[in-house]
A and B are shown apart, each in its own frame.
Chain A
């Protein structure tokens, strides 16, 4: 039996009914057709499906769509506004922090949540924030540089 839910998706209202066993990940990818959010394992271990629920990063594969009722859902598709990349997205481009790109949306959502929660995070906090996002390509260094460049101390640093 379907349950009615109501939420905002990247700022826009969404209302409809979903099956009780529908994961938030399937809801995002299949119901909403927002395929930027990726599935890497389906068991909450890789972070590729990270989205923000009320500003909090969650593994969408571990949350049911019904649990998002009443929440503000943000996915990677909402980060660029009017065709302009967010500051963090620009930093990922500038720091070559992207290789195959499959983990990238999840990493960006995790890091974005951190930057909104703590605009001047320490290096340790940055590492902690993205430690749940597995990446097999970059070795993380360029990702950490990109995130750091969006903090007040990163902006003034001599990072190329």
Chain B
């Protein structure tokens, strides 16, 4: 093999960086078209109510207003997994922030003013805000018509007449026997609030509804082809009538998966006779109207032997889907399959219920439910370890899946699945776990208030991509005259660095300088090959495989022509450093330039033609899960990892200072070291946000109390851990490109768990709710004091 042009695992520069540091990068918000109008929407001020009257007369009369729409005029029910969403509310509003009417006008100010002039009269209806109340018989129904909705059959199991959008069951082993064999049985509950994604770029779209039911979209979305597909399905028009273009995207984190404002902008454009309509969500709308992460209530019952081996696990997950569960149902399904942690558990019963409530709805968020389920599982594991007098590190090592053992969905863990044990050992070593202070850590009784205390915490994580069984991806590599290459692929790089990693793979495979591979940044469904969605940490893996296939297709084409020119059999040809030569006669060689658009013999006759490589990849061997037992193969691959933290808690304020975080992922193969490292750096801080400060707060009527950066903080440069290290294990994934697995989401998973575990080590108190902000930590410690008046 050539030693030239080796890029996989390297640190070649990001292809997008020059555009982004100069301000040359164009995002949808920067685009404008002749005749473009501004769209805005008016949203519900209440969580649940009947729309009695919408008066748009004053808005329509305003100069500059070109269209006003309400839900009555829009008869579309949209969704990917569960079509439970209308473009604008019709008849009822289901959450505070639910769009009820929309306007297109000549300027943004006119559109805003027109929205203000729309009068809506509501009859408030009882709101259901708590998941446990929502599953009680007789609870108000968020979707009384659930039984009539279109959904992905065979995968999801809605329960009409209730608020349950999906019930994922996992059953394995003999639960009764498992609990009977347990030395101790522990029962505990945990809670995660809803958390918004907070991309710096809010949702933004420009739509043109053209004659003949055609639609042109420019949108800040994660998945061009899924936007197209959902538009086609929702509006009943051919796929080819819809063209979706995605330029640079200012962050997604799952919040820009599926479709969001595209249908509304399209209908506004249609109502104006096809003028382009741009909608830019305000930051408040980003919090209040556009989707967030779901909340979760977990109830865990676990049986363990005296030695700390798990014998049985019974878990109920109640997902707070909010008003729509299009994506939520899949989170409830996917996270349930990982809902026991990366451990072998002989007997398991998981009930994962995705529950409608009258709150802003949930969607995919980096980690897809895994941060939430592992908040409970990894905290509970520590609690059991401490109760049994076993070191939490040792407890995990005794329970990790080992080759030959089944996961809770019946997939057999193999040596090539990865090394959860080694990930945990790596982070434990990095934070000095075995040398940590043991005396009075964790304290036998809650620590007294006064001074600062240190704590050490560890937590494991795992996740597989959640995606349909048929998920596929394709790539086109087309050579230019100078033997440079354009790489066309339709996963979207909204910051992850995937394109840069894929360029490295292509360059290495083709044996050309990486600078000569240009990934086409603007995705366009009219010109680029199909991909499913840029979610689930599956793009680098599936895209990488597609790129390799496309590159090999190019090499075959180059060799086929070179063989004729060099009078050598194809199998004797070598492609190296932009040249094709004959292995036994290296003097006989051709530069790629002579071949990539066709070879001309000295007499002028020409053969070959432009070299265009085609590659594709489809998930293989995946099955639907059995509706009653959840058994099946839903994982393309599993990425295992762990975090270790050292914190210092100020017992007088509850404030947590993160002194050290070590993170380790079994990446299979690191495709691009800098991208991998910076993904972990960023994901860890996003995880710290979930751990320490972030969470939606609602009042008793369901109004969101913190929909702005004033009241909702995300980490800033001041919130960094004093020390952070990123480690990678490389246990090759047999079907991954160069052995790689996805690592995009994993860095933020289990960060809250590690911090929660460290708080116990520091203070001797167990906190079950997130975020672990100063107020919560201080009050928990205060109430645990023997003399506290409010002590429960």
Interface residues in chain A, defined as those with a beta carbon under 8 Å from any beta carbon in chain B: 29, 34-43, 45-46, 48, 75-77, 79-80, 85, 89, 92-94, 96, 98-105, 108, 127-128, 130-144
Contact = CB atoms under 8 A, between A and B. Distances in A.
Contacts of B29: 35, 38-39
A101 B250 CA distance: 6
B157 to A, nearest CB: 34
Interface residues of B, number: 55
Contacts of A79: 21-22
Given A41-B283, A102-B200, A89 B251 contact: no
Contact of A136 (B248, B251, B496): B251
B717 interface: yes
A89 B509 CA distance: 31
B650 interface: no
B17 A96 contact: yes
Scoring B21, B494, B715 by chain A CB atoms within 10 A of each residue's CB, the highest score goes to B21
B23 A139 contact: no
Contacts of A98: 14, 16-17, 20-21
B16 A101 contact: yes
A137 B675 CA distance: 12
Scoring B22, B681, B710 by chain A CB atoms within 10 A of each residue's CB, the highest score goes to B22
A48 B27 CA distance: 14
A120 B496 CA distance: 32
B429 interface: no
A144 B23 contact: no
Contacts of B26: 35
A59 B683 CA distance: 27
A81 B24 CA distance: 13
B495 interface: yes
Interface string B754-767: 00000000000000
A137 B13 contact: no
Contacts of B19: 101
B717 A36 contact: no
Interface of B: 11, 13-14, 16-27, 29-30, 197-202, 248-253, 282-283, 494-497, 674-675, 677-678, 681-686, 708-710, 714-718, 720, 724
27 contacts: A29-B30, A41-B709, A45-B708, A77-B23, A85-B22, A96-B497, A96-B674, A98-B21, A99-B251, A100-B494, A101-B20, A101-B250, A105-B21, A108-B21, A127-B720, A131-B717, A133-B717, A134-B200, A135-B200, A136-B200, A136-B251, A138-B681, A139-B724, A140-B716, A140-B717, A140-B720, A143-B717
Contacts of A134: 198, 200, 709, 714, 716
Given A99-B682, A102-B201, A136-B198, A131 B718 contact: yes
Nearest to B718: A131
Scoring B197, B248, B674, B682 by chain A CB atoms within 10 A of each residue's CB, the highest score goes to B682
A143 B682 CA distance: 11
Nearest to B22: A80
Contact of B709 (A38, A45, A133, A137): A45
Contact of B720 (A35, A92, A108, A139): A139
B199 A102 contact: yes
B659 to A, nearest CB: 15
A146 to B, nearest CB: 9
Contacts of A89: 21-22
Contact of B248 (A42, A101, A135): A101
B456 to A, nearest CB: 22
B1 to A, nearest CB: 27
Contact of B710 (A37, A45, A108, A130): A45
Contacts of A96: 11, 13-14, 17, 497, 674-675, 677-678
A29 B32 CA distance: 12
A46 B23 contact: no
A2 to B, nearest CB: 16
Nearest to A94: B13
B21 A85 contact: yes
